[in-house]
Each structure stands twice: as C-alpha cells, then as structure tokens.
Amino acid sequence: MIVMLLFLVSIFVVFLGLFCGLAIGLLAEEELVLGKKYLIFFRTVLFFVSLIIFACSILIKGLFVPALVVVVLTLLFYMNKERFTIYYYLLAIMLCFAWIYNFFIILGPIAFLYGFPQGSLYILEQKNRKLFKQIIGLLAKHSGFVIIVIFAVVLGLF
C-alpha cells in the first residue's frame, strides 16, 4: 500500500512538469515564439533519451516484449499530428515499468523535464484562450497519462 502511494505521489510530481511548463510559458509568452524550435528540439531529445534508457534498462532485465511494444508504438505515431501528446502517454507506460524494474529514479526526472516544453508549447497553441480554459485544456489533453497510471495501479501491477 505504501509503495503504491509513493508511486502515485511520484507520478503526480512528474505530471506537475506540464504545469511548470505552462507557468513558464505564461510568464515568457514573447520569448516562446522565438524559442519554439528549441523547445520542440528539447522535447524530442528528451523523449528519445527516455526511450533509449527505457529500452536498454528493460532489455538488460531480459524483457524483450515491453521494449518492442513501446518502440513500435513510437514509430507508429511518429507521423501523427498529436504525436508528442501520445509520446507523453507512452512515458506513463515507461514510468510504470520503470517503477516495477527499479529505474524510475533515472526516467522520472526526464519525464518531468519533458513536461516543461510540452506545457510551454501548449501556450503557443492556445494563446487566444483564457487562463482557466488553458489549464482545463491542458488537463484534458494529457489526462491519458493519469488514466494509464491509474489503470496500472488498479490492475495491481504494484
């Protein structure tokens, strides 16, 4: 029970990365336009670093199927317009496995950092909406992350 609670708190902290990015984007809206390409690059690098760490860590444990599934899903959604949101959902799956196989301490901070550019770039997409609608929209768009984690906990993976 304590382990599950610790996992949920850790996931909540990782999810806060989105809102930190949202806050940074709100504080520096003028700079977002100039830095958009760097944020996109940073977000892409963070995801692929987390993918490499996940695949290597899982393969070291001798589990081929989870690594293959995540890599195949990444490749399937590569051409999708919303691929970075889907990648955030894949990070939830990777974090669940990382917790089970004891490399969450490596993958957790990377997932937290992934939320920074994700939240900041969301501001650019929704710059004409009011703050409350931006926050609700960010929650709605990335709620799959939380749903995946809750589903893993309900299934009793911990």
Read off the pLDDT of residues 36-84 as tens digits, 9 standing for 90 and up.
999 999 999 999 999 999 988 888 888 888 888 888 888 887 777 788 8
Neighbours of 5 (CB within 10 A): 11
pTM across the whole model: 0.88
Domain that holds residue 90: 2-154
User: How many angstroms separate the CA atoms of 66 and 126, rounded?
Assistant: 35
CB 108 within 8 A of CB 98: yes
Total number of domains in the chain? 1
| CA separation for the pair 54, 13 (Å, rounded) | 19
Tokens of 55: 């695949």
